[in-house]
A and B are shown apart, each in its own frame.
Chain A
């Protein structure tokens, strides 16, 4: 009798794994975060753009509101495409490349490691070996 025949007829059928592997989960999460980031940044940029179109509101930051002719939006380069470090962050309404800011997710968990234990061979981990 082959190994696989042992109990095969009586054993419950193996279940196919529908939960994602770590790689596909991380890929999905990166994609989600990138889309989320793009939406947030797009919305922020749009809001800033709309605000800039509002002649009653100073956009350039000048306290006297002298930012340009009445009813004319200032050039889009006024502030909204400048990051906090003065770096351009891309055209209006377009998210920066996701890997720049969004991909830096948390460090991947080593699911093989034994939590709280010394870094011994027992970190072998799957924990399936009965030997101490």
Chain B
């Protein structure tokens, strides 16, 4: 069971594409947090609960996070369940006390950073317009230095699409081993922006191959994920999103949502599936799940369907207003990612690249020794 706690709606950045909407000063009260934890433990029928902190910027609510961790671990122990932790942060706020919290409770950290300084400055600045890059890089390096396995999520937007390949290299050079480029589907993808992205994606693929050829194993999604969908011949059932079932998000006001991406400003009753006062509205929840799982008729015969994220209810809702209807922009991004993933994998497999074979086919295969001169591909 995964429970996302929206600790607040406030944030110190003003990202151009933020899907959580306007920023305002509402923080989840402690009482709501405790009820949310109890709700999560009630639903955790497999014996564990993953709580993910989200916002706004969750790192701004240090005391609430500390209280949540203390309360949930105590209650989970009393109820014979295990706790796991995660957090999405913009990476601007980190000090000794926060670092200790992350370390002591093994909180998985996902940092939102769009890549190179130019890419970041194009979309993710402080509220006052200053660049946020330098501070985030310092904090990211500190976390990596402490041994955290950081996943960096970078948003692809028309404003920064041209930097895609350079952003990947920049993050990989910093030492990040898991990078996800996630599209802002509502970014206004004009013909020109699409053209820019398609070229940048090709460049990204070339740079990804260069990493493999230099003996480096960096996980780059969605390329990595799309390769896996070919290897496994589609998404495995267990890997599909558990939208509204084993994945739930709770807003600061205590409303329940089927996905964190639908919380936004917490004012759209169309996507509520209950609240902590009344509990889950099963009829509404089931209706949304059913709507999400109803195949878009236009996709039914598509040969790429098994490899496509047509099932992502939140992406569909964001772009069409219907959790079960896939937009043309989502379809185009999926086609682009699959094509590039196949191009990259075809080449690396044909070369019998040892890092590629080890990552995808033969995990027990030892990696070849690497010289320092290989560390940075050109």
Q: Which A residues are within 8 Å of any B CB, using their own CB?
A: 1-7, 10-23, 25, 106, 109, 111-112, 115-122, 124-132
Contacts and interface: CB of A to CB of B under 8 A. Distances in A.
B363 A109 contact: yes
B137 interface: no
B328 A126 contact: no
A126 B106 contact: no
Contacts of B178: 127
A131 to B, nearest CB: 5
A19 B195 contact: no
Given A128-B222, A130-B153, A132-B54, A17 B360 contact: no
Given A22-B232, A109-B360, A125-B225, 8 more contacts: A14-B304, A17-B230, A112-B228, A118-B106, A120-B50, A130-B153, A130-B180, A131-B52
Interface string B202-238: 1000000000000000010110111111111101101
Contacts of B149: 115-117
Given A11-B335, A112-B228, A19 B343 contact: no
Chain A interface, >50% SS class? loop
A22 B377 CA distance: 29
Contact of B346 (A3, A18, A130): A18
Chain B interface, >50% SS class? mixed
Nearest to B360: A111
B246 interface: yes
Interface stretch (B27-35, B83-91, B92-100): B83-91
Interface size on B, as a range, is: 35 or more
A18 B88 CA distance: 37
Nearest to A117: B108
Interface string B141-164: 000000001010101000000000
B316 to A, nearest CB: 12
Given A4-B302, A16-B342, A127-B178, A122 B86 contact: yes
A91 to B, nearest CB: 33
Contacts of B110: 132
B247 interface: yes
A126 B239 contact: yes
A15 B221 contact: no
Nearest to B201: A12
B242 interface: yes
Q: Determine which residue in B222, B238, B309, B339 has the highest number of CB atoms from chain A within 10 A of its CB, and name it.
A: B339
